[in-house]
Chain A
Amino acid sequence: MAEVTAKHVFKRFGEVTAVNDFDLKIRDKEFLVLVGPSGCGKTTTLRMVAGLEEITDGEIYIGDRLVNDVAPKDRDIAMVFQNYALYPHMNVYDNMAFGLKLRHFKREDIDRRVKEAAEILGIGQLLKRKPKELSGGQRQRVALGRAIVREPQAFLMDEPLSNLDAKLRVQTRTELKKLHARLETTAIYVTHDQTEAMTMGDRIVVMKDGVIQQVAEPQEIYNRPANMFVAGFIGAPAMNFLKGRLVKEGDNLYMDLGTSKMLVPAERAKTWLPYAGREVMFGIRPEELIHEGAFREAHPDWVVPARIEVVEPMGSETYLYLTVGDQAATSRAEGNVIAHDGETMEFAINMERVHAFDPETERAIA
C-alpha cells in the first residue's frame, strides 16, 4: 500500500508526445481511474508506472522510492492486462503462484495465498485447468488472482473489462469495486469507458492528447466539467452544446439562442456577467432539457420550442433527438413520454444547471 506520485512526467516517441506533463499524486488506497479516448496517453502513463515503458522526462515515485530506473520486477506492483496475459503453458495455480515462486516464498505460504485468492474470486475449482480451458470471465479472474496473491503496493489495471461481454462487464465492475474495498490497495485503472470511470473511480483523471484535462471525484467531473472536452466525454448521452450569446437587459442576464431567450438565475449571472454581449457555448445535459409539464409551468422563462427529429425509446426512458432553432440537441425524457417525429414540442431548459464555455479556449466560465 502506497502513494504513487508522478512529477511532471513526459513520454515522447520521436516527434510525438504521448504523455505531456502528467503531474499527479495518487493517494494511498485510492481507486484512481484514467479515462480518455484511445491515443490519449492513459495506457502509456500506466505502463510508465509499471516500468514497461521508459520515462522521457519527469519522476515517478512509488511510496517514497523514486522508481524511474527500477526494473518492473523490483517495483512491487501487480498489473492486470486487457487480454489477461496469462501464461498459456501453466495451469491456473501456477499462473497465480509464479510471482510468489520468483520471490522465493515458502511452499506453504504460496499454497495458502493462492487458495485464499482463488476462494475470494470463486475460481477454487479451476486451479488445475489451463487458460485455454477457461471462459473469458474466468481468465479475467485468474488474472486478478495473479495480482492479488502478490499483495503488491499498487494494482495497475489496463482496461481489464473490455474483453468481457456487456452483462459480465457490469457484474465484474461491482465485484472489482468490492474487491478493492476489501484489499485496500492503491489501484490505478485505465479505461476508455466513461461509465466504468464514473462507477468505479474514487477520483477520475480525464486525459486527451497526452494532457490531463481534469482530476476530480466523479460527481464533481459530471457537475463541474473543466472544459468542453470533459463535458462532452463524461455522460451518456453526451452533453448538448448550443451556440448562443449572453445578453444583458436591465439587471437581467439572458441566454440568447437566436430563436428564444432564457433568464439566467442570479447566482450564475454573477459569474457569467463578464461575458455579457459575447458569444458563448452553452452546455446542457440531456436530462436538463425537460419536457415534463410541471417543470415547464414552474419555469415559463426557461421554455424553448423544439422540433422532434427522432424518438428513441429505451424502456425506462426515451431519448428525443431535437432541433432547437437550427442546432441539434438530445433530451432524456421519461419512458412514457408521447412524442412523434416531425412534431414541435415545448421544453424547459433547467437554467440552474446549464454550463457555459468560452468558445475560444473551450474552458468552463466559472
Chain B
Amino acid sequence: MKALPYASTADSHIAHLVRRHRQHSSPLAAIGPYLYLAPAMILVAGFLLYPALDTAYLSLTNAHGVSQPKFIGFENYAAFFTDPAVITSLENTLVWVIATLLFPVGLGLAVAVLVNRIPGENLFKSIFYLPYAVSLTSTGVLWSFILSPYGVLNAFLGAVGLGRWAISWLIVPPANTYAMIGATTWQSMGTNMVLFLVGLKSIPAEPVEAARVDGAGNWQTFRSVTWPLLRPFTAIVVAMAVINSFKVFDIIWVMTQGGPYRSSETLAVTMYRDAFVLFQSGYGSAIAMFLSAIVISLTVVLLRTSLREEVA
C-alpha cells in the first residue's frame, strides 16, 4: 500500500524525535520501559513459566519424591495410554465435557430464554443464580448429604414409590459421575443463564419482530434469528464451560475423591492423586502436561472462532 505523503512526513518527524531523544537521554531511559514491565514479568516468570517448564522437565523423569529423578524420555507418556486408571479418567473427563454442554449450558440457555422478559424475571433470575454463591466445595458437601444412601434423594424416591430406583449414588459407577454432574449443574447453571440473558438482552428487538411478521413462530424465530445473533455469547459460554469441565477437580475430590476404585476420577483428579498422594511426580507431571495441552489448544481454537464469527 502506498503511504500517504503527510503520513510519511509525520513518520520521519517522529523518527527524528526518537533519534534526538536517544542522543540526549541517560542510559537509564533506555531500560525504563523494561523496569516498568519487570514486576509483572517476574510474577509471570516465577509463578507460571518456571513451574510450567519444571513440570515439563519432571514429566520426562521418573521423579517420585524420594531419590534423585532420572531422565526417562517419553516413558511416562507411553505408560498412561495403557494405564486403565488413566483411560477411565479420560472417559470420565469426556463425559463431564459433554454433560456440561448438555446440562449447565443447555439448561442455562433454556432457562434464560424462558425467563427473559416475563413478569417476575428478576425473581427467577435470583433463584437460579443463588447456588452460584455457594462454593463448589460446599456444593460437594451439601450434595453428599442429599445423595448419601440414607439421604434426601433416596428418601424422596421411597416416598413417591420409586424406592427401587434408590441406589448408593456416589458408590456405583457410572451413576457417581452423573450424580456429581447433577450437583455441578445445580451450582453452575445460573451463571450460564445470566450470561445468556445478557446476550438475549443485547439482541435488538426489531429483527425478532421482523421475523414474527415475516411468518416465523416462536421456535423458528429462535432458531433463525435469536440463536445466530446469540452466537458470540454462546461461544464464550461454551468455551468457559468446556475448559472448566476439563479441569474439574474440587467437587469430585470432596464428594468421592475419585473413587471407589478410581472409578469417578477425571484427568485433574488423576494428576493430583499421582503427583501429590502417590508421589509419582514424574507421572503426574506427564498427565498435567497432557491436560494443559488439551485445555490450551481448545482455548486457542474457541477464542479464535468466537472472535472471528462475531456478528457485527
CA distance A52 to B205 in the complex (A): 11
| Contact indicator A87/B213 (Cβ below 8 Å) | no
Bits for B31-43, please: 1 = Cβ < 8 Å to A, else 0: 0000000000000
Contact for A98 among B206, B211, B217, CB less than 8 A? B211
User: Knowing A83-B206, A102-B220 touch, does A52 contact B213 (C-beta < 8 A)?
Assistant: yes
Establish whether residues A73 and B216, one from each chain, have CB atoms under 8 Å apart when the complex forms: yes
- Interface residue ranges of A81-130 to B (CB < 8 Å): 81, 83-89, 98-99, 102-103
Question: A73 near B217 (CB under 8 angstroms)?
Answer: yes
- Residues of A close to B211: CB separation below 8 A: 87, 98
Contacts of B231 in A (CB 8 A): 89
- Tally of chain A residues near chain B (CB < 8 A): 27
Across the two chains, which residue of chain B brings its CB closest to A47? B209
Stretch in contact with the other chain, from B13-21, B221-229, B236-244, B245-253: B221-229
Contact of A99 among B214, B217, B225 (CB under 8 A): B214
A103 to B231, CA, bound (A): 26
Within the complex, which residue of A52, A74, A75, A88 is in contact with B209, where a contact is CB–CB below 8 Å? Answer: A52
B229 touches A71 (CB 8 A): no
B3 at interface (Cβ–Cβ under 8 A)?
no
On whether the beta carbons of B210 and A85 are closer than 8 Å, the reply is: yes
Interface residues on B, range: 20 to 34
Complex interface: chain B residues within 8 A of A85 (CB): 204, 206-207, 209-210
> Is B215 part of the contact surface with A, judged by Cβ < 8 Å?
yes
Evaluate whether A98 and B207 lie within 8 angstroms (CB atoms) in the complex, with A88-B229, A132-B312 already known: no
Bound: A300/B207 CA distance, A: 62
* CB < 8 Å neighbour of A72 from B207, B213, B311, B312: B213
Most buried by A among B206, B209, B210, B212: B210
Residues of chain A contacted by B209 (CB below 8 angstroms): 50, 52, 72, 79, 81, 85
Asked if A98 and B212 make an inter-chain contact with CB atoms under 8 angstroms apart, the answer reads no
* Pairwise interchain contact A52-B212, C-beta atoms closer than 8 A: yes
Chain B positions within 8 Å of A103 at CB level: 215
In the complex with contacts A72-B212, A73-B212, A73-B217, A87-B206 CB distance below 8 A: no
Cα distance A132–B204 in the bound complex, in angstroms: 15
- Most A CB atoms within 10 A — which of B207, B212, B217? B207
- Tell whether A89 pairs with B229 under 8 Å between CB atoms, given A83-B206, A98-B224, A132-B312: yes
Cα separation A92 to B216 with both chains bound (whole Å)? 18
Q: Quick check: is A150 within 8 A (CB to CB) of the other chain? A: yes
In contact, A71 and B207 (Cβ under 8 angstroms): no
For residue B45, give the distance in angstroms from its CB to the closest CB of chain A: 43
Cross-chain contact A79 with B210 (CB below 8 angstroms): yes
Chain B minimum-CB-distance residue to A87: B207
A231 within 8 A of B: no
Residues on the A chain within 8 Å of B207, using CB: 85-88
Distance of A156 Cα from B216 Cα, bound (Å):
17
Set A50, A84, A86, A88: member contacting B213, Cβ < 8 A = A50
Given contacts A71-B217, A81-B206, A102-B220, whether A89 and B212 have CB atoms under 8 Å apart is no
Complex CA distance for A88 and B311, rounded to whole angstroms: 7
A77 at the interface (CB under 8 A from B): yes
A89 and B311 contact, CB distance less than 8 A? yes
Contact residues in B for A102 (Cβ distance below 8 Å): 214-216, 220
Interface CB pairs A-B, < 8 A, 25? A50-B209, A51-B213, A52-B212, A52-B213, A73-B215, A73-B216, A74-B215, A78-B213, A81-B206, A81-B210, A83-B204, A83-B206, A84-B206, A85-B209, A86-B207, A87-B210, A88-B207, A88-B229, A89-B231, A98-B211, A98-B224, A99-B215, A102-B214, A102-B220, A103-B215
- Other 7 A-B pairs with CB < 8 A, given A79-B213, A150-B214: A52-B212, A78-B213, A85-B209, A86-B210, A88-B311, A89-B229, A156-B213
Instruction: Name A residues whose Cβ lies closer than 8 Å to a Cβ of B.
Output: 50-52, 71-75, 77-79, 81, 83-89, 98-99, 102-103, 132, 146, 150, 156
